[in-house]
Amino acid sequence: MKIIIVLILSALFLKSCSSDDIVRQENSELLGIFRNIAKGMQSHPKETSKAKEIKKTNLWLSKFNQPIILISSLDKTDEATLVALGNNEEKLTWVSADGISVSYDNGILIATRGYSQDLLSLKYKNPANLFSASEIKYDKVHRYLSGQNNYHDIYFKCTGIKKFSKPSQILEYNLSVDTFVEKCEHSSYNYVNTYDLLAGTTIVLRSKQWISPANKSFLTYNYYAFQKF
């Protein structure tokens, strides 16, 4: 059964992803992380132990032979590594060993699958324009599936402010990061997302992003930016 699942995931990946397109659009600051996205789809086991018990180091990261991200609860007691499943116009989808998947557009969470209340789609501002601004106002629309099998949209008014260049450590790297803080409000809900960007760029290294009213927020670490193959 495991072999069949791997073959299906591989087929979906190859269908949705063109390695030539990835190479052409690759940003040199990402250290060539997309060059090997088409390499094997071996899924690594979901890591459910507390973050304190598994120190995230370059040695830990070197165990993975394909690009990965790590998602974590805000209290860091639950986490999982996800591997690349597909690419559609630089919108990347990642999947865990137990089938949870998340999709991002250049660091912005745009869809989830496998949660109790999934984000089906997101209407949002272009990430390059968003993260380039020092202060900006804009609208976002989160779409979910209602109990009657219909779409349910939640409209937010958002404000984004960039805080420039502070030192931060990711793995064993000491980096300068800009932090983009996104505050979004609705009559019944509000949330604050944060995006740590490599200083002077729009490259998201880690983030805290809201999924839904039921699931709240989680952390994402884009470790693929530090991998070498």
How far apart are the C-alpha atoms of 171 and 166, rounded to whole Å? 16
How far apart are the C-alpha atoms of 59 and 229, rounded to whole Å? 14
Closest by CA to 100, choosing from 145, 129, 125, 69, is: 69
Does the model's pTM come out above 0.85?
A: no
Q: CA 18, 38, 217, 98 torsion: positive or negative?
A: positive
pLDDT in tens, 118-168: 999 999 999 999 999 999 999 999 999 987 778 999 999 999 999 999 999
Give, for all 229 residues of the chain, the pLDDT tens digit.
443 333 333 433 334 443 344 333 434 434 444 334 334 333 343 444 444 567 899 999 999 999 999 999 999 899 999 999 988 877 999 999 999 999 999 999 999 999 999 999 999 999 999 999 999 999 999 999 987 778 999 999 999 999 999 999 999 999 999 999 999 999 999 999 999 999 999 999 999 999 999 999 999 999 999 998 7
CB 227, CB 127: distance < 8 Å = no
Domain that holds residue 13: 2-226
CB 179, CB 197: distance < 8 Å = yes
**Number of separate domains in the chain:** 1
pLDDT at 53: 60
Closest by CA to 220, choosing from 198, 193, 199, is: 193
Record the tokens describing residue 29, joined without a space. Answer: 């600051």
**Can you give the CATH number for the domain in which 47 is found?**
2.40.360.10
